């Protein structure tokens, strides 16, 4: 079975004609299958939305209860029939509720990865490897220079810096959904038991994580009057707030940023980051290559990121691979300011 029999690319995004459904569409469509809650994948305004209960809850938190006409929750491993297609959702290890989508037809099956990672993350279900005939993968960090180190080591750098500079506030830029909570959990695992401070824009999602039973310890929202007093403390904020008006009132702030992009010095410097923390919620190069092989797929489509390198790598190993050059998807860390609610 060829992948193009099952999936096609439309201006709204990937489309499965047989099931009459789009996957992570960038424009409103009648029926959408959503892999996870990040805003470049989960947009408001669709007719019916099929997604994990966590993803649906996150979309409601971000867009309001009326973000679509009809919600259809689907648990990991559960199947649903869409005409002749059997769809199922499986953990992608990216953020809470994130899923790979498997579409099975008579002649074979395809897996759409969404965003995924294979590294340890205590705040979401671990990636499940699915054997398939065709695999549609992201490649946000699709260059061999991207190899993510052990995240615990990166957090240890942060804590060592808090000890060396106890009078400076340590601001950690982290995307509000997923990355922030993972960093909080890692900070706890490193033995930090003081309160972790957060920017107001992270409050709703962080509360949601805690309601889902993820222990993050004492989390406090930064009030305007607190800022001057937070020397030596760890404060998480959306990346766009790191070097903006909001950060000024902190005592001599250290700008840290938790992102896979921090692997490359020029990227960190461009953003004025002083303490880069290479922590990513995407697969790195080695994991990407391994996954392409492990799925057993004979055909690979690369949706977004650095497509060319992984396409070259697959072809050199006799795996048929195509870049899709889809637009509208990016790494969430690239997003600048969020509303400072």
- Whether 82 and 21 have beta carbons less than 8 Å apart is answered as yes
Is 308 one of the binding residues for another protein (CB under 8 A)?
yes
Q: Which is nearer to another protein, 2 or 293 (CB)?
A: 293
Q: Which of residues 240-269 bind another protein (CB under 8 A)?
A: 243-245, 247-248, 252, 255, 263-266, 268-269
Q: Which is nearer to another protein, 89 or 285 (CB)?
A: 285
Q: Which of residues 149-178 bind another protein (CB under 8 A)?
A: 149, 157, 161, 164-165
The CB density around residue 317, as the number of other CB atoms within 10 Å, is 10
Q: Which is nearer to another protein, 81 or 248 (CB)?
A: 248
Q: Which is nearer to another protein, 224 or 245 (CB)?
A: 245
Give Cα separations from 198 to 23, 93, 164, 234, 245 (angstroms).
33, 24, 22, 8, 16
DSSP reduced 3-state for 161: helix
Beta strand spans in 156-311 (E): 170-173, 196-198, 219-221, 234-237, 254-258, 275-277, 299-305
* Least distance between another protein and beta carbon 313 (Å): 7
* Least distance between another protein and beta carbon 113 (Å): 21
Part in contact with another protein (CB under 8 A); list of ranges 78-86, 179-187, 228-236, 239-247: 239-247
Q: How many residues bind another protein (CB under 8 A)?
A: 35
Residue 308: enclosing H or E segment and its boundaries?
helix 307-316
By DSSP bridging, strand 234-237 and strand 170-173 are parallel
Is 340 one of the binding residues for another protein (CB under 8 A)?
no
Q: Which is nearer to another protein, 64 or 339 (CB)?
A: 339
Q: Which of residues 176-215 bind another protein (CB under 8 A)?
A: none
DSSP reduced 3-state for 211: helix
Phi then psi for residue 248, to 5 deg, are -65, -35
Can you say how many angstroms the Cα of residue 147 is from the centroid of all Cα atoms in its chain?
A: 17
Interface residues with another protein (CB under 8 A) are 143-147, 149, 157, 161, 164-165, 243-245, 247-248, 252, 255, 263-266, 268-269, 272-276, 286, 306, 308-309, 312-313, 316
């Amino acid at each position: 079975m060829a992948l193009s029999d099952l999936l096609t690319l439309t201006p709204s995004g990937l489309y499965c004609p047989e099931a009459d459904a789009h996957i992570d569409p960038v424009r409103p469509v009648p029926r959408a299958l959503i892999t996870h809650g990040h805003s470049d994948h989960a947009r408001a305004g669709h007719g019916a939305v099929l997604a994990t209960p966590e993803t649906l809850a996150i979309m409601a938190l971000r867009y309001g209860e009326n973000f679509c006409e009809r919600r259809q929750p689907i648990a990991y491993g559960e199947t649903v029939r869409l005409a002749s297609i059997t769809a199922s959702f499986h953990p992608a290890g990216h953020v809470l509720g994130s899923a790979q989508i498997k579409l099975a037809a008579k002649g074979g099956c395809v897996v759409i990865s969404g965003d995924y990672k294979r590294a340890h993350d205590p705040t979401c279900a671990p990636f499940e490897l699915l054997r398939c005939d065709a695999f549609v993968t992201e490649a946000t960090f699709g260059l061999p220079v991207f190899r993510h180190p052990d995240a615990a080591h990166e957090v240890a750098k942060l804590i060592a810096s808090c000890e060396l500079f106890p009078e400076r506030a340590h601001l950690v830029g982290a995307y509000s959904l997923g990355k922030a909570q993972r960093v909080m959990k890692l900070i706890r695992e490193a033995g930090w038991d003081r309160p972790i401070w957060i920017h107001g824009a992270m409050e709703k999602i962080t509360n949601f994580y805690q309601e889902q039973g993820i222990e993050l310890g004492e989390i406090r929202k930064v009030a305007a009057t607190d800022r001057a007093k937070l020397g030596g403390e760890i404060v998480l904020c959306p990346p766009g707030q790191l070097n903006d008006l909001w950060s000024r009132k902190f005592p001599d702030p250290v700008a840290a940023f938790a992102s896979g992009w921090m692997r490359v010095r020029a990227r960190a410097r461009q953003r004025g980051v002083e303490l880069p923390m290479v922590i990513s919620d995407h697969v790195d190069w080695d994991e990407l290559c391994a996954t392409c092989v492990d799925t057993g797929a004979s055909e690979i489509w690369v949706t977004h990121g650095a497509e060319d390198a992984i396409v070259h790598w697959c072809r050199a190993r006799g795996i048929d691979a195509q870049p899709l050059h889809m637009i509208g998807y990016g790494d969430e860390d690239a997003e600048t300011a969020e509303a400072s609610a």
